[in-house]
Amino acid sequence: MGQIFKIQEKGRDEELGLIKKQITSDNSNFCFDSPVVSQRANKFDPDIKIQEIIRHIDEKVVDSLVTRHIKPFADAVKEEFATDKLNATLFDFKYNDFPSDDNLRVIAHALHGASDKVVFLPTVKKALLMGDRPGLKTPSLSLDRIESYKKMMKLIIDEIRMPKNGKEIVGMVPFLPSKFARPIIDFYASEGIRAFAIDCGFNDIMDYEDDFAYLLSTIKKSVIPLEQTVIFAFNAGIGPSYEATEIVSDDFLGVFAYVDVLGSTFKQRGGGDSEPRAKVFSRDKYAYDIRRYPDLRPQFGKYVNPATIRNFNKSEQRKETAKIRDLVGVEKMKKYLATKPAVNQDSMKHLESIARKIG
């Protein structure tokens, strides 16, 4: 299968992992420059270049697909498509164990039918990749489960390719230690997949710089040079807030670490604060201000809920990536980052380290 994304490098920063690319497709009218931030579907917002359409897939959803046909489900997703955007349909598996082959075939055809020009392979819960191991009382990551994961993805890929598939398949890479991540990337390479989405699983990219660099390095050395592919990152986390009033926006800093498209955090996180607090992105600082929701009403002039903050943060990050794109090749990005008070020496070292390792 040929690569559908058409990629043209338009500039790069030599000190950090930042490549400006123009990304288009021959069989679609979407066109965007990276780095860029994707956002939940809103086909009426002209500033959104990549919109996410998220569906959580569990036994109840699959039962509906089996008993009521796939078409109504796919048609409902297509209602959210926009003709001038990259429509990213994301299936979030809620399974703790692998679905049957029959159900996987149904899911695969639903995914194909509900995807536009690009098919993203599903994300999974970490629990799906964990099994019992001798000497351990609790389940842990298991190569046997990784093999089952690969078989599941192989079935999905084969079903997607059964019709005359003119869509790019994006391999979803769970954020795992190298022993478990490498077989997945090698498998995608053997399937001819040439674009990748990293499911960070709430991990802080800057805290896990070596693991993140390993994933990128493996893609680069085993599959395709990074300037010739598109790297998406979803569910990126930030450090714990506890009693902090400000947290460095480590997730957003991923756009300086070879991330072309920074996506949303759409997985559900267990637990939580007794009094949930909002994390409000600041372009001036590259930080999240930690605030109580009632205290935000004067700033926003209305009742504020998590969706309000999510949309505000993504809008601000879209504006910031637009500024970054304009600066690539014009200004040294380390100099620009030095103007952001929250980007300390540790943050800069993490970014420089990733850039050196990938080279």
What is the per-residue pLDDT for 135? 67
What is the per-residue pLDDT for 29? 78
**Is 107 within 8 Å of 57 (Cβ atoms)?**
yes
Nearest to 304 by CA among 276, 285, 283: 276
Least confident segment among 112-121, 137-146, 282-291 = 137-146
The model's confidence at residue 45, banded by pLDDT at 50, 70 and 90, is: confident
pLDDT tens digits, one per residue of 321-344: 999 999 998 999 999 999 999 999
Model pTM? Answer: 0.94
The model's confidence at residue 9, banded by pLDDT at 50, 70 and 90, is: very high
- Given a cut of 70, is residue 274 above it in pLDDT? no
Q: What are the sequence ranges of the domains in the chain?
A: 5-358
**For the chain, what is the radius of gyration of the CA atoms?**
20
Using alpha carbons only, give the angle 198, 199, 200 rounded to the nearest 5 degrees. 100
Alpha helices in the chain (DSSP H): 59-68, 71-78, 101-113, 143-161, 178-190, 209-222, 297-300, 306-327, 333-337, 345-358
**Is 150 within 8 Å of 36 (Cβ atoms)?**
no
Mean pLDDT, rounded, of the chain: 92
Under CATH, domain 5-358 is a member of which superfamily?
A: Queuine tRNA-ribosyltransferase-like (3.20.20.105)
Cβ neighbors of 280 (< 8 A, separation 6 or more) are: 288, 289, 291, 296, 309, 312, 313
Side-chain-facing half-sphere of 145: CA atoms under 13 Å: 22
CA-CA distance, 36 to 261, in Å (whole number)? 5
Place of tokens 């709430």: 202
